[in-house]
Structure 1
């Protein structure tokens, strides 16, 4: 409220004074009355004259407006009330509250809790309180209710449970506790100004309780969405300062950040946002220097343990079946030398060389046309791309293609870049939050982020959508993405839909509470929870990850987290594309239970 009244450019000192005056005013008003105070009583003793010319009456109205914006109904409670309403019951809402009756009734009505016939009793009107017990007596007498027939629900152990229970009322204590991650935020009171950690924990809890209980909900509300919202706010702010006018989010990892950016865009109206279809498969082949042996070998990557046919389909979308025998193309390559010999043999086939050279020219031309079509290819030097993590090879390829076609290179935004990334060159600038080499060799909890890359890519940013493998030109001359067959993923789509819904509600609270003004200060709380998840994930957070499939290429899939035999754990024999720490923890929990397992994990450093 201090920011709303004093303005977003107000000083931290003036905000602190405003908050102090409001809190002190309520204390003073309560000391003057034996019964519950009203909002008017509070503002009668507040003096904001040194901070603003806005009247106390206007500030009080603003407080109610803000309350209406930030109050969130608990979905589980609403469902119980809906059932009672359908059965013909009337609900009597009873509250020790200073806000006006008309205001509370409006909120209950707007959020679907109120039905004709319901009643509202508040202490500041009746002069009686639940905490003293006389409000229960007043309601019972006015409505001729027998305490033994009365069921009361509330979340205050004293006034909603013990006091009504003593009167013979059937009291039910509602326990909507802060989650483990939210409690961590509350414990870390690191910022000396306005209570931003309490607000952050509060909006995470409010967002969580506005949904039905789901296995994926806790991780989405407490880790995924706070991380990505903070990231997107930071890159949009940097883009604004860097005079970026067009920001392109790369498929598929960039979809959720793009969705989040669209929700935030009203705060950055000068930046145009776009989602473009691309992938490593769609860029590596046309982005290499040539279709000759050495360049294609680099595109194919590591050969050992792979099949040449699968590698070519995955990296170039070319089927080599007609150019080399199935015996050779489908055999598992035992060494890099053997793979190189097979590749040399393939390049001895002139028909293959003609095929790959022609396909290379076609795809290179189509990629360039696609960049021009989307607006990424520009000479105005005001474009940038956003990806989640990686080596920056795609960024380098995009800039090479743009430069060779006579267009300006673009800046890159990343959540994380790897230690084997492409180094920055002239015109090839980038921004990143995390740099993997900084936590690889540390003994702190940061080092557990090193193996979290698969979770970030395959779970946090899951879309379930098809993967772009190349481009084609339709009859109207429009360049369209060509998708990998059967690459849609139902669970990924469901997860993405949930993350979008969480993001919409979380961002609404983040903006209404003006927390975006403290985005950098809040990152320590958000990152700390990410570190805790990476090191000591809870069982409830691991269960959704057991349904996520990951792959090295289109032919080989496994799950992100799963239970291993103990022999595999002892030998550290786990899939490279999975989350090893997650599988280790999940396996330990499966054998020992979560409580004992978490104790044991404090002694396991890897």
Structure 2
């Protein structure tokens, strides 16, 4: 309502109106129990803002109607009882009139002309204390035993009518999820409590409009509150920086691109694009002189990975090395700081000319693709990406600078403390740091939250008059998750601006809803969430593995003795996937056993035995 009543600059009036409207209901209730909307506004002097009470009441009713989203799951229940000959009545503890509510219900085809509406402000009774049920019984001359009631409030819709003998059903599917309840509980710790509560209601409404499914629930509770605030932040910052071309980088940026399109009408001067660029496609373009420093920088990005995979990512096949069968490295060797320096030295001395020639060819195709997408010509542009370090951004700007094109501004969400900072202040970071959860954050963000069935761009080829990104094999297993994540996020994004009006509110929603849910999920996902993660394969430098896997027998043994699993895996997700509701209990038991004196002796004995055999 504040958006319609006051300008964005009139912050004082916005705050004052919200505060007075919030407390007007309790003030009116002290004068007249069960007040209606007109009596509530009698408790506010709206003339202080040069407003008329009649106009403000009409605006509130219009706002209420526009924000209502149909719960489609209740429709067949109503129709069943209607066909069975039951009289249908709608009852509510509400300050809006029965005439208004009937009009809204009829709009959604929930209510017929001969259905009755009972509201507390007209009946002067409430469901919460049971008096509204008594009022209806006396007016309609109905016996409680012949009354069937559906509602989503455990007390007023279930416990109280049950005590009266009504056949009551607690319709729990309309309830908030555990994550949404956490948002509401923690909203009071943030400056924009009202906006967080509105966002929780919006999320619930969109979720309930879909078929009941754990994938839909996780998309609404995790994906949307993470990415919608990031996209909004990006667009607001772009507008302030006079950036009018935004390129979302594939594949992680596809969902961000779809969300941004929902805000297009609010930011009409910003043009949105999707650019197919990846590490695999841009690393081979990085080399200009084949120096030790160039090889060292690129190889550092592959720290901890096999040498063969690292070389493949920069466009070098192991067998192409001049003396690959005689070098002191082997293909499966894992890179570390020492071997990275040695390999960089070896390549700069023995493979310099070949890599520079290959890089030039790859780079020409990359530049042709960028030119085709109108990226090179755009003077006020930015890229949007997320990831571990931000190496694609660094590579791209190095190439643009070397080729005498204007460098691009960047919006980057780095979910680790290894994010590469910029020396020339051409990047806005949207990031958090949590060293406990970094590895799993990368897996969940890249491979679930940004789930994309398309292949990753490997290189660019000129075909006829076009430059085509050549992609890896499509991942069909992610199609359903991608459609759900993008669909739910876009639906919530459409209504998002009705819940916020500034960047600070956007940040609070991200911290209270998105960031908190991500941390809670990483700390210990429930069994439904773990099951979703178990469907997803992560890929990193040619290595593939499932995000979550069930525990094996060896894992249980090492868990109880050493406190960790035998196979490297996301322990908490594995526990939930294997043991479901008992997971936390078993985890606690494992913590106790692994720290006990007895297990300390067992570990000592096993260590001695292993040394004997070795």
Deviates more, 1:91-100 or 1:317-326: 317-326
Residues 604/568 of structure 1: CA separation in 2 closer, same or farther (3 Å cut): closer
Gapped regions of structure 2 (runs ≥ 5): 596-614
Match of 1:168 in 2: 165
| Alignment RMSD | 4.1
1:549 aligned residue: 537
Instruction: Report the alpha carbon displacement of residue 318 of structure 1 after superposing the two structures with TM.
Output: 6.3
- Give the C-alpha shift of residue 221 in structure 1: 2.1
1:194-229 alpha-carbon deviations (Å, 9 max, x no partner): 633433333333333333332223432222211211
- Where 2:437 maps in the other structure, the secondary structure is helix
Partner of 1:244: 243
- Say which SS state the counterpart of residue 534 (structure 2) adopts: helix
Residue 238 of structure 1 and its aligned partner are, at CA, apart by 1.9
Per-residue deviation, 1:150? 2.2
CA deviation profile, 1:301-325 (whole Å, cap 9, x unmatched): 75998484x6665542869599999
C-alpha distance in structure 2 between counterparts of 1:227 and 1:421, whole Å: 19
The answer for the alignment partner of 2:255 in structure 1 is 256
SS at structure 2 position matched to 1:282: helix
Distance 1:495 1:478 in 2: 31
Shift of 1:528: 3.2
Q: Report deviation, 1:418.
A: 4.4
With over 3 angstroms needed to count, the CA separation of the structure-2 counterparts of 1:118 and 1:321, relative to structure 1, is farther
So what's the TM-score if we normalise by structure 1? Answer: 0.82
- Match of residue 601 from structure 2: none
* 1:443 corresponds to: none
Give the corresponding residue for 1:283. Answer: 282
Show structure 1 runs of 5+ residues with no match.
441-446
What residue in structure 2 maps to residue 97 of structure 1?
A: 94
Most deviating of 282-291 and 389-398: 282-291
CA deviations on 1:92-137 (whole Å, 9 max, x unpaired) are 2222322133332232233343356544333444566545656546
Q: What is the alpha-carbon distance in structure 2 between the residues aligned to residue 5 and residue 602 of structure 1?
A: 59
Compared CA separation, residues 463 and 166, structure 1 to 2 (3 A): same
Equivalent in 434, 438, 454 of residue 443 of structure 2: 454
Secondary structure at the aligned position of 2:158 is classed as helix
Alpha-carbon distance in structure 1 between the residues aligned to 2:303 and 2:189: 50
Cα distance between partner residues in 2 of 1:143 and 1:468: 69
Separation in 1, partners of 2:310, 2:468: 24
Change (3 A) 1:603 1:316: farther
Three-state SS of the structure 2 residue aligned to 1:465 is coil
Match of 2:96, SS?
coil
Are the counterparts in 2 of residues 277 and 468 from structure 1 also a CA contact under 8 Å? Answer: yes
User: In structure 1, what is the equivalent of residue 206 of structure 2?
Assistant: 207
DSSP 3-state at the match of 2:63: helix
Tell me the equivalent position of 2:151: 154
Secondary structure (helix, strand or coil) at the match of 1:216 reads helix
Residues 568 and 574 in structure 1, CA contact (< 8 A), matched pair in contact too: yes
**Shift, 1:186, TM fit:** 2.5
Which residue does the alignment assign to 2:500?
514
Counterpart Cα distance in 2 of 1:574 and 1:75: 47
- Aligned-residue offset at 1:252: 0.3
The equivalent residue for 1:120 is 117
Aligned to 1:593: 583
- Say which is worse superposed, 545-554 or 87-96, in terms of deviation: 87-96
The alpha-carbon deviation at position 55 of structure 1 amounts to 0.9
Which residue number corresponds to residue 444 of structure 1? none
SS at match of 1:384: strand
Distance 1:192 1:293, change over 3 A: closer
Check 1:546–1:598 CA distance in 2 against 1; reply closer, same or farther (3 A cut): farther
Cα 1:334–1:463 change in 2 (3 A) is closer
Seen in structure 2, the aligned counterparts of structure 1 residues 590 and 450 have a Cα distance that, compared at 3 Å, is same
1:429 maps to 426
Q: Give me the whole-angstrom Cα distance separating, in 2, the residues matched to 1:183 and 1:600.
A: 29
Show the counterpart of 1:463.
Answer: 452
Q: 1:500 to 1:10 in 2, by over 3 A?
A: same
Please give the alpha-carbon distance, in whole angstroms, between the structure 1 residues aligned to 2:47 and 2:283. Answer: 64
Q: Quick one: distance in 2 between partners of 1:85 and 1:91? A: 7
Distance 1:134 1:434, change over 3 A: closer
More deviation, 127-136/92-101? 127-136
Write out per-residue CA displacement over residues 256-279 of structure 1, whole angstroms, 9 at most, x where no aligned residue: 111111112322222221111111
Cα offset for 1:45?
4.1
Q: Name the residue aligned to 2:391.
A: 393
Contact 1:291 1:360 (C-alpha < 8 Å) held by counterparts: no
Could you tell me which residue of structure 1 aligns to residue 401 of structure 2?
A: 403
Shift in Å, 1:469 = 0.9
Q: TM-score scaled by structure 2?
A: 0.81
Cα distance in 2 for partners of 1:243, 1:603 equals 60
Residues 164-186 of structure 1: per-residue CA shift (max 9 Å, x gap): 33543212223344333223222
Per the alignment, residue 486 of structure 2 pairs with: 500
The residue matched to 1:388 in structure 2 has which SS?
Answer: strand
Asked if 2 retains the 8 angstrom alpha-carbon contact of 1:411 and 1:430, the reply is yes
Give 1:71 deviation, angstroms: 2.1
The separation in 2 between residues aligned to 1:195 and 1:303, in whole angstroms, is: 45
Alpha-carbon separation, structure 1, partners of 2:129 and 2:518? 43
1:230-250 CA-to-partner distances (Å, cap 9, x unmatched) read 122222222222221111110
Question: What is the CA deviation profile of residues 460-491 of structure 1, one whole-angstrom value per residue up to 9, with x for unaligned ones?
Answer: 1111212111111221x22121111x3x2233
- The alignment partner of 2:382 has SS state of strand
Change (3 A) 1:182 1:156: closer
Residues 384 and 410 in structure 1, CA contact (< 8 A), matched pair in contact too: yes
8 A Cα contact 1:468 1:481, kept in partner: yes
Cα offset, 1:60, TM superposition = 0.6
Matched, 1:360 2:349: no
Quote how far apart the aligned CAs of 1:47 are: 1.2
Partners of 1:539 and 1:594 within 8 A in 2: no
Match of 1:524 in 2: 511
User: Contact 2:453–2:478 at 8 Å: present in 1 too?
Assistant: yes
- The DSSP-based 3-state class of the residue aligned with 1:195 is helix
Q: Deviation digits for residues 141-181 of structure 1, max 9, x if unmatched? A: 77665543321112344543344335432122233443332
Secondary structure in structure 2 of the residue aligned to 1:415: strand
Cα distance in structure 2, aligned partners of 1:590 and 1:159 = 32
1:563: which partner in 2?
550
Change (3 A) 1:152 1:305: closer
The question of 1:39 aligning with 2:37 is answered yes
Whether 1:27 aligns to 2:31 is: no
Distance 1:295 1:193 in 2: 47
| 1:321-375 deviations in Å (ceiling 9; x for gaps) | 99999999xx85347799989x989x989xx987x76653332111011112212
